């Protein structure tokens, strides 16, 4: 049984998916696992379109130009392009947090499960803040809610900037990070999980607070649903409000395809 089942709905059948479709509001409150048996589509893009037909796919990174990124865990690769290719544990993180406005939703579809590991964990930022208050860690709350600068290249500004009302200089390498989600208590940045290199300007004291926050997330197993994905299963959640992690894989072979997207258009869809 998953821990904190209020943050995870499991859809087992096509009838259930039709009766209670997955919408953006639900994904902002918790994750949804749509089992392969509930989906007619045999491949990732059609399966994702079936699960969330309203979602506009994010394609603003070369690895996502085709609509999804394929993650193949390879224990033999000593210098992988992405940390997720390693079988080791991926700590809690959000995706694409170096972008001015990261995509709001992450969708993970399992192609080949790991033989014995690789479970995903989800943790809602509201639950983390409640735990921080219980523990009296106001120092971490202050750290998480502080506005801070973000080192990015012009391409990380994304098409959201046009028409967003944000005043940004597309040639600047450093921008003020803005919260994309006005209802979330803070913007969640990545530190060790998926990013290539640091994209936040942090003092040593802030780095310690960030690591304290991530340690606390890892310890919050009572708050985090743990999901084992089988072939064809699709896991969906808000990338703005839920952190996700992956437990260590037993070895090589786990294959997932990851889509991201928004509930509003971000880029033109290519013609079918
Ligand atoms: Fe991720």
Least confident residue range of 53-67, 79-93, 177-191 = 177-191
Cα-Cα-Cα-Cα torsion 262, 264, 268, 272, nearest 10 degrees, comes to: 70
Report if residue 270 sits inside a domain.
no
pLDDT of residue 80: 83
pLDDT of residue 79: 83
For position 142, which CATH number holds? 3.60.130.10
Mean pLDDT of 72-84: 86
Report if residue 234 sits inside a domain.
yes
Report if residue 258 sits inside a domain.
yes
194 CA from centroid of ligand 1 (Å): 6
Half-sphere exposure (Cβ direction) of 261: Cα atoms closer than 13 Å: 27
pLDDT in tens, 231-245: 999 999 999 999 999
pLDDT of residue 45: 96
From the list 242, 237, 239, the residue with the least C-alpha distance to 126 is 242
14 CA from centroid of ligand 1 (Å): 27
Euclidean distance between the first and the last CA atom of the chain, given in angstroms as a whole number: 40
pLDDT in tens, 115-170: 999 999 999 999 999 999 999 999 999 999 887 777 766 667 666 566 555 555 55
Looking at the structure of the chain, the number of domains it has is 1
13 CA from centroid of ligand 1 (Å): 26
d(CA 115, CA 25): 34
Give me 80's structure tokens: 């992988």
Rg (CA), the chain: 18
Report if residue 118 sits inside a domain.
yes
70 CA from centroid of ligand 1 (Å): 12
pLDDT of residue 99: 84
67 CA from centroid of ligand 1 (Å): 15
Contact 128, 220 (CB under 8 A): yes
From the list 258, 246, 253, the residue with the least C-alpha distance to 89 is 246
Report if residue 180 sits inside a domain.
yes
Domain that holds residue 23: 5-188+197-262
pTM of the shown model? 0.89
**How high is the mean pLDDT of the chain?**
86
161 CA from centroid of ligand 1 (Å): 23
pLDDT in tens, 171-220: 555 556 566 677 888 888 888 776 666 778 788 999 999 999 999 999 99
95 CA from centroid of ligand 1 (Å): 5
119 CA from centroid of ligand 1 (Å): 13
199 CA from centroid of ligand 1 (Å): 16
249 CA from centroid of ligand 1 (Å): 15
Contact 185, 127 (CB under 8 A): no
Report if residue 269 sits inside a domain.
no
Report if residue 162 sits inside a domain.
yes
Question: Residue 8's beta-bridge partner residues?
Answer: 31
Report if residue 271 sits inside a domain.
no
């Amino acid at each position: 049984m998953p821990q904190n089942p209020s943050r995870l709905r499991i859809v087992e059948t096509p009838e259930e998916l039709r009766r209670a479709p997955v919408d953006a509001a639900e994904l902002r409150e918790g994750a949804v696992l749509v089992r392969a048996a509930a989906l007619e589509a045999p491949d990732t893009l059609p399966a994702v379109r079936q699960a969330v037909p309203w979602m506009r796919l994010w394609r603003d990174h070369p690895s996502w130009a085709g609509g999804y990124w394929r993650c193949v865990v390879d224990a033999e690769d000593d210098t992988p392009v992405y940390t997720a290719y390693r079988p080791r544990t991926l700590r809690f993180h959000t995706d694409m947090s170096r972008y001015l406005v990261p995509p709001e939703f992450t969708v993970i579809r399992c192609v080949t499960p790991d033989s014995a590991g690789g479970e995903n964990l989800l943790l809602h930022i509201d639950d983390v803040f409640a735990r921080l208050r219980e523990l009296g860690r106001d120092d971490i709350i202050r750290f998480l809610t502080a506005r801070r600068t973000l080192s990015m290249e012009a391409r990380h500004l994304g098409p959201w900037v046009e028409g967003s009302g944000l005043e940004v200089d597309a040639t600047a390498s450093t921008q003020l990070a803005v919260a994309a989600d006005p209802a979330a208590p803070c913007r969640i940045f990545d530190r060790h999980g998926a990013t290539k290199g640091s994209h936040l300007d942090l003092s040593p004291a802030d780095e310690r607070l960030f690591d304290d926050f991530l340690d606390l997330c890892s310890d919050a197993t009572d708050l985090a649903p743990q999901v084992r994905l089988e072939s064809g299963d699709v896991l969906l959640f808000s990338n703005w409000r839920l952190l996700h992690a992956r437990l260590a894989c037993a070895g090589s072979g786990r294959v997932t395809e990851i889509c991201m997207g928004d509930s509003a258009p971000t880029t033109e869809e290519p013609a079918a």
